[in-house]
Structure 1
Amino acid sequence: MAAVAAVLCLTSATVALLPASSSAVTGPGGTTVAEGGHTVRISRTEYGVPHILARDFDGLGYGYGYAFAQDNVCELADHVVTLRGERSRFFGSDGEPGEGEVQGSNLASDTYYSGQLHAGTVRQLLANKAPLGPTTELRRMVEGYAAGYNRYLRDTGVDHLPDPTCKGQPWVRPITALDVWSVVYDVNRVTATVPLVPDIGDAKPPTTTSADGKETEASSAAATLATATATATATDIATATATDIGSNGWALGRDATRTGNAMVLANPHLPWAVGYFRLYQVQLTIPGVLDVSGAGLYGTPLVEIGHNRTLAWTHTASDAEHASVYALKLAPGDPTSYVLDGRTVPMERRSVPVTVRGADGKLKTVERTLYSSYFGPVLSSGWTTTTAYAIRDANADNLRSMNTWLAMGKAQNLGQLRAAQDEFQGVPWTYTLAADTSGGTYFTDSSAVPHLTDAQLAHCTLPNDEGPTALDGSTSACAWGSDPDALVPGVYGPSRQPKLSRTDYVANSNNGPQYVNPEAPITGLPGVYDTDPHLDGRAQLGLDMIAQRRDGTDGLGAPGFTESTLRDSMLGNRVRSAETGRDDIVGMCRAHPSLTATDGTQVDVRQACTTLARWDTRADTTSRGIVLWSTFYNRLLDGGPPDTWRRVPYDPAQPLTTPRGFNGEDPRVQRALADAVQEFAARDLPVDVELGAVQKWDGIPLPGCDAGCFDVVEASPESGTGTPTAGAFGATFLMTVELTPDGPRAHTLLTYGQSANPASPHFSDQTRLFSSKQWVMERSTPAEIAGDPALEVTTLRR
């Protein structure tokens, strides 16, 4: 890619024409894009949303990389340090960990990522031609993205960066296209391998003693660590892989809307403070080639949830398995060899040099070892002299995701979207819900799912009394199979994936595929797709909300969705656990005004009872009662299986309405309320405290809850204030879009703003909107962009 000395021109509210050759095209904001030159235009509308206009994919990536760096240079710089295996070099082995990683795990993290670089994992995937490797357009876009990021860094200077987080720091350096592809590869494996990176990087065999009394295979220090981790239980590995992701997604067809136009609701739930999980809003335009609006994960060069003129889509986290843990039967006397099909197989060992900064500031190189097996990397947890565990990730060879999303962004209808997913098979771990201007909707789980039959699961799953739930790694009969139409071995192909097309709706709230539309249940799927019909409260609430809007019984007016009532439904802050059980608890505490807490103390619950009786069962920022309810409900969930304290237990014949309610005479229910009231007293909080007083981001009250809310939000008063232990989780990029014959009408809300820089005006400007249930009208046409009084335009000539 040609590099560039160029002109940087910044204007505000005015639209400057770019230098043009004899052939030109008009783009957003009235810009003229030179056909014979290399110009890129970044038009920022209210709340800092960038609209990137370019004539080719090099330029589009260049503009996107530059715009993203303006807002989040530190976030990507920090992530690149992790992916290069250099955290110990800059922060020390026990220093500041990467976002989302375990404290003190830098050496383990560096071991893993340095091993990936030395093995050339991403480079090998890049060497493939499309569809396995990136398309030519995408390669050019990624090259441009890296160059645009570097251009911003060069123009601004590390010592003058606006974010104090990384201003003047030596770890902020130019990036390469390989760094961007490494970000993509990490995103694809974030529900399986990535949470286990410290476990893989620290894997060491237990110490054994030879006949002459000498220790072998591990040093004494390593033996201590191995002993400490050898007692791992199912919880240890399950906790590491239970990544915080979730979502609500609806695609509404012509039979569900008042206008007859299809609509889509996007509501992904992700951590707010973890860089690789944060979303960035953008519009990407190459006139006549691509025009897509929406949001993508930090450091990825495309829109992953969004719409174009005739098609809209969203994703929710798939409930399917995307990896398998295998239990390796170790060879007697040799904890680094395992038995497979009766043969002894040595583990693969890779020596990895890691540079570490000592307390004195001096650098030294530490040699580390990674262990791998036929089934994948070996884990530290649970490694004894007889057993070790390995993780096989269905996305271990997936660099195809960006191919898929680029093709989806170009697709003009549901048929083309489906063809794009079938061709590239790159969606890593999400369901897709989509609609187009025909008024139709579509659902699929096209993610990478291990090809394991129900018979294999029944035969190969080992008891988990003393270790994690795992498959038998001593026989290849328990290895993944494959489908003829799968691009890569080991996963289910498109012909076996769940799919549903409807003209009313498809909806998902992280439940299995079976009830994305209860009128057309999806059945007959392999068990790895999780066809358990037991819906949780949020999934049931979402289906209720759709049904009640369709028949007009939700209080929002005449039947049928409009884009306005879709927005109102999203931020209605309904709480299903309270709607179906609050009255049970009020009846209980009126009958028992004094309850016994876990510690035996008698607790007066009369004021709590009055608070719950007066509560409107909503989770608005001004609601009084939701904080008490959430505390009570989550204590109750921690106390045992919910069906045993429900008033109406789960009934397979009534999956949409059971379980529900609370048995007020159950001691656990009474104890949970007493404990909640006791906790409030200990925290010196009134039981009727407003939600917004205890749930905040950057000091701004937040709606939503984690107790059966549709609008999921979990936060503390310190969230967004730089306190390391305070985080937030839940609603991130909200989008409602109606696909009209005249073009899309959309509203969006990026709950934490465009920038992770606390000094940026876009750090929490949209959080204030979220707090007051306001939305941003999306601007996507040239006239809409040009008409924004807050317009700022950056013109880059490359």
Structure 2
Amino acid sequence: MRKRTGLGLLLGLWAVAETSALAAGSPHYTAEIRRTSFGIPHIKAADEASLGFGLGYAYAQDNFCMFAEEMVTVAGERSRYFAPEATGGPDIDSGSVRADNRTSDYYFRLVNEPAEVAAAWNGQPAPVKARVTGYVAGINRYLADTGAAALPVACRSKPWVRPLTTDDIMRLMRRYALEGSSLQFVNELIGARPPAPGAAGAEVAADFSALARRTASYGVGSNAVALGKDATSDGRGLLLGNPHYPWQGILRFYQFHLTMPGQLDVMGAALAGLPVVNIGFTRDIAWSHTVNTSAHFTLHALTLDPADPTRYRVGDRWLTMEKKAVSIAVGDKAESHDFWQTIYGPVVAKPGAFEWSATTAYALGDANADNNRMIEMWHAMDSAPTLAVLASRVQSVLGLPWVNTIAADRDGRALYLGVTVVPNISAEKQARCVAEPYRALVASGVMVLDGSDPACGWDQVSGLRQSGVVPGDRLPLLWRSDYVQNSNDSAWLTNARTPLTGYPEIVSAQDVAQGGRTRMGIEQIDARLAGTDGRPGKRFDARSLHDIAFSNRVFYGGLLHGDIKRLCAEPGSVVVEGETIDLAAPCATLTAWDGTASPASIGYPLFAAWWNPLEGTPGLWTVPFDAHHPVTTPHGLKLDDPAIRTQLREGLGKAVVAQRKNGIDWTRPWGDIQYIDTRAGRVPVPGGAGGDVYNSMYSVLAPGGGHMVPTLGSSYIQIVGFDDDGPVAKALLAYSNSSDPASPHSDDQAASFAVGELKPQPFTDAQIKADPAYRTMTVAQ
């Protein structure tokens, strides 16, 4: 008889144990998985654990390999199975972790050390523990039922595939919480080493500009609009949610529906591995999230002992950094790396940006390092009976790490919550504790505090579950009966008629220029409510809200149309890289362009290649930003300024050269350039990048050039209203529900996204059973 080892032995022992349990009595878990069109699972169970079990099984059916590999990542074990110098895996695919396997392992071993993971689990409420335990059991049951040799190709018989534990979900939850903070410092944490003896001190503040740009926009975004009774045709709430997230990797959403009769009925989508709906709707409430601009970390400038760069001064005391050794496995060998801890957090360093010198070092304070409440937070939101209760729970649990909440209900109320985990730094403390060389960084979300002053730490408020953060009831909240909106700007213009002001800058900036999506969104909302958008009436219905989401309008394309005509009145030529570029053809294309990033539109890639690098040019506008007119300013290119005019013309020539080098024919329709290849053939992908397209879509040049491949943008899009019977929801998941290329549900929603066709979401039992693709299975153990 052949000896059983490894995964086969683990699965065998697990299966025997479960079979014995079934023989001894009734199943511990029982759930019904009902699938409807596009493979969307509707999980129905009588208790929390069984609900998690059914969801875990369904999720594994659709995404097991991607998820199993992510468990290797968050456990800090990639170098055990993959080349340590290589990059890869679901975090790299999502564009989130920018590090090789060895660096990634050290980071996750640091933040997910056993004590932190155990504390995270111990802090979960009993219903959450039951849901997570069942979820893990469901994934493991799928693995046992399928067998390692019959898994999808990506992980078939791979040595890194194993049964999961609840620790894995806690590690993943902590990884998500840190997305907007320390996860952006992976390389800087590894790069922090004491300077060699005799190293120079820091004379001036380092150049943080690259860090500021990166942390202010760490990859994900979103739009959301909630309309109240004074803005809708039926007097009920109406919601548009469109998070902009990666199309590959661990930050992909998954669509599903959870029902515990008499207790819970919620449908929507969640990030991989979270057994709760993150964005979705119930019978009476609908909500979405947008990535917010609040800072979720601070840096602390440390004054060092000239004789010992691991000693730092706090007030009249000299403290010694703690050297923390972290070990990883590289193949079958062990390696170790030393991190340096302070009372504020670990030391970070980057050569040429913020260095650990003989006199100065920088420590990272991460507000979400102690936020183990994410799953609890969405669990509480999913079951909220009213929108007021949902708001109260968001404020009290304070578990949303870096996203705003935009919501509407059947009673016609619209709600904005900018309630996330934020370091408690008052305006007075900011003025006193941020030294002059660092002040310009605050607008980019980077606050560098004086670490030598004990009064410059985070303010403490008694009665909170987490110390040093802003209490939930002191963070932005706005109830409206007309609208609230957010497109990744601050809370300031949530409703342009009632600006939210007076918050510390670390929470929400005011009197600052707004992004193109924010300006366009408010303009379109105002036009609809004023009846000046060419449609009858002055209120929204689902169709008019849909048109905002899928018009593919490019804000600056419309704003600059007249300026482009003036610029191109006498095209002429420019010299780029020693080559004379005739501007007649590109000018003809841009002046004829319809101002959209629709698949049939001609001209968008040329416009984006021209405008996106120029948008931040100083002195560009005839009418600069005016805080009294934030929606309409800035505007008007300064074409009468010879230097600006020359920059704009040369920029157009550079765009032509860049497109040619990339093999992009900008005279072709956008859908011929930005597309995906599906099982059913080539499908154009609408939308564009640059921060001024509501239907946002970032893409990269395909290997070999010639076309663009979508990587991040519109994902789970929902429009939800209400009637007497429940929610009236239409939605789609742009990249579809399965990450397994062999699955029919890996790309079956692409064609709908291409034409902006949201699909009705079956919510009631009758609607689910009436779906033409309805099928059901029961899972139990």
What TM-score does the superposition give when structure 1 sets the normalisation length?
A: 0.88
CA shift, 1:600, in A, is 5.7
Aligned mates of 2:278, 2:404 — CA distance in 1: 12
Task: In structure 1, list runs of 5 or more residues that go unmatched.
Answer: 9-20, 22-33, 128-132, 210-222, 358-362
Conservation of the 8 A alpha-carbon contact between 1:694 and 1:716: no
Contact 2:601 2:669 in 1 (8 A): yes
Q: After superposition, give the CA deviation of every residue in 1:195-226 in whole Å (9 maximum; x if it has no partner).
A: 222322343222226xxxxxxxxxxxxx9xx9
Instruction: Provide the residue aligned with 1:17 in structure 2.
Output: none
Separation (CA, whole Å) in 2 of partners of 1:451 and 1:65: 37
Distance in 2 of aligned mates of 1:598 and 1:451: 50
Superposition deviation, residue 92 in structure 1: 2.8
Contact kept in structure 2, 1:507 and 1:517, CA below 8 Å? yes
Counterpart amino acid of residue 404 in structure 2:
Y
Please tell me the residue identity of whatever aligns with 1:563.
A
1:287 matches 2:250:
no
Amino acid paired to 1:142: V
Change in 2 beyond 3 A, CA 1:240/1:649: closer
Alpha-carbon distance in structure 1 between the residues aligned to 2:508 and 2:553: 27
| Alignment partners' CA distance in 1, 2:300 and 2:52 | 40
Write the letter of the residue equivalent to 2:525. Answer: I
Q: Provide the identity percentage.
A: 35
| Of 475, 481, 488, the match for 1:503 | 481
Task: Sort the Cα spacing of 1:341 and 1:309 in 2 relative to 1 into closer, same or farther, 3 A.
Answer: same
Post-superposition shift, 1:172? 1.2
Q: Which amino acid aligns with 1:166?
A: C
| Equivalences for residues 508-587 of structure 1 within 5 A | 508-533=486-511, 534-587=513-566
Is 1:435 matched with 2:408?
yes
Post-superposition CA distance 1:443-480 (Å, at most 9, x none) = 11110111101122122223149998622111122111
Task: Give the letter for the 2:121 counterpart.
Answer: L
Q: Does 1:706 align with 2:689?
A: yes
Which residue in 1 is equivalent to 2:673? 694
Q: In structure 2, what is the Cα distance between the partners aligned to 1:730 and 1:600?
A: 36
1:590 and 1:606 in contact (8 A); partners too = no
Pick aligned residue for 2:627 from 632, 637, 652: 652
Contact 1:695 1:717 (C-alpha < 8 Å) held by counterparts: no
Distance of 1:754 and 1:42 partners within structure 2:
15
Residue 596 of structure 1 aligns to a residue in which SS? strand
Using the alignment, how far apart are the partners of 2:369 and 2:766 within structure 1? 44
Counterpart of 2:6? none
Q: Which amino acid aligns with 1:487?
A: R
Change in Cα spacing, 1:404 to 1:475, as seen in structure 2 (3 Å) is same
TM-score by length of 2: 0.90
The corresponding residue for 2:246 is: 271
Q: Is the 8 Å Cα contact of residues 150 and 175 (structure 1) preserved in structure 2?
A: yes
Query: Displacement, 1:722?
Result: 14
Structure 1 pair 232–524 and aligned structure 2 pair: CA distance change class (3 A): closer
Aligned to 1:417, the other structure's residue is in SS state helix
**Are 2:419 and 1:446 aligned?**
yes
Change (3 A) 1:37 1:603: closer
In the alignment, what sits opposite 1:112? Answer: 107
* Residue identity matched to 2:238: M
8 Å Cα contact 1:607-1:687 kept in structure 2 = no
Q: Which residue of 1 aligns with 2:8?
A: none
Alignment CA distance shift 1:722-1:202 (3 Å): farther
Matched, 1:794 2:777: yes
The DSSP-based 3-state class of the residue aligned with 2:363 is strand
Deviations 1:291-326 (A, max 9, x none): 100111111111011110001111111111111111
Residue aligned with 2:391, SS: helix
Amino acid in structure 1 at the alignment position of 2:269: A
Write out aligned runs for 1:114-263 (5 A).
Answer: 114-118=109-113, 120-127=115-122, 133-162=123-152, 164-208=153-197, 233-238=207-212, 241=215, 242-263=217-238
Structure 2 residue runs without a partner (length 5+): 1-13
Residue of 607, 614, 622 corresponding to 2:585:
607
- Aligned pair in 2 of structure 1 residues 739, 482: CA closer, same or farther (>3 Å)? farther
Deviation at 1:794, TM superposition (A): 2.0
- 1:372 paired with 2:372, answer no
1:354–1:248 CA distance, 2 compared to 1 (3 A): same
Cα distance, 1:565 vs structure 2: 2.1
1:25 corresponding residue in structure 2: none
What secondary structure sits across from 1:257 in the alignment? coil
Task: Decide whether aligned partners of structure 1 residues 652 and 111 sit closer, same or farther in structure 2, where only a CA change above 3 A counts.
Answer: same
Query: Where in structure 2 are the equivalents of 1:304-383 lying within 5 Å?
Result: 304-357=278-331, 363-381=332-350, 382-383=355-356
Structure 2 counterpart of 1:72, from 39, 63, 67? 63
Distance (Å, rounded) in 1 between the aligned partners of 2:310 and 2:360: 10
1:386 and 2:359 are equivalent in the alignment: yes
Alignment RMSD (CA, Å): 2.8
Deviation at 1:84, TM superposition (A): 1.1
Conservation of the 8 A alpha-carbon contact between 1:696 and 1:717:
no
Quick one: structure 1 residues 466 and 545, their matched pair in 2 at CA, closer, same or farther if it must change by over 3 Å?
A: closer
Question: Partner of 2:365: helix, strand, or coil?
Answer: strand
Asked whether the equivalents of residues 579 and 617 of structure 1 are also in contact (C-alpha less than 8 Å), the reply is yes
Determine the structure 2 residue equivalent to 1:60: 51
Kindly tell me: are residues 174 and 556 of structure 1, through their superposed partners in 2, closer, same or farther at Cα, counting changes over 3 Å? Answer: farther
Secondary structure of the residue that 1:757 maps to in structure 2? coil
- Of 495-504 and 699-708, the range deviating more from structure 2: 699-708
2:450 aligned with 1:472, yes or no?
yes
Deviations 1:166-219 (A, max 9, x none): 22211111111010111111111110011222322343222226xxxxxxxxxx
SS of alignment partner, residue 513 of structure 1: coil
CA offsets 1:52-71 (integer angstroms, 9 cap, x no match)? 11110000111111111111
The letter of the residue matching 1:150 is N
Distance 2:419 2:211 in 1: 26
Letter of the 1:365 counterpart:
A
Task: Give the drift of 1:235.
Answer: 3.6
The residue type paired with residue 356 of structure 2 is: W
What SS does the aligned partner of 2:568 have? helix
Aligned length: 738
Moved >4 Å (runs of 4+) = 101-104, 464-469
**Equivalent residue number for residue 7 of structure 2:** none
SS of the aligned residue for 1:392 comes to: strand
What is the CA-CA distance between 1:601 and the residue it aligns to?
Answer: 4.2
Give yes or no for the alignment of 1:742 onto 2:725.
yes
CA distance in 2, matches of 1:624, 1:722: 19
Distance in 2 (CA, whole Å) between partners of 1:454 and 1:52 is: 47
Superimposed CA distance per residue, residues 378-400 of structure 1 (whole angstroms, 9 cap, x where no aligned partner): 11322222222111111111111
Which amino acid is the alignment partner of residue 334 of structure 1? D
SS of the counterpart of 1:761? coil
Residue 50 (1) aligns with residue 50 (2): no
CA distance in 2 between counterparts of 1:157 and 1:693 reads 42
The alpha-carbon distance between structure 1 residues 793 and 718, as it changes in their structure 2 partners (threshold 3 A), is farther
Show CA shifts across 1:606-626 (max 9, x none).
111221222211110110011
Tell me, yes or no, if the aligned pair for 2:664 and 2:673 is still in contact at 8 Å.
no
Tell me how far apart the structure 1 counterparts of residues 705 and 668 of structure 2 sit (CA, whole Å): 24
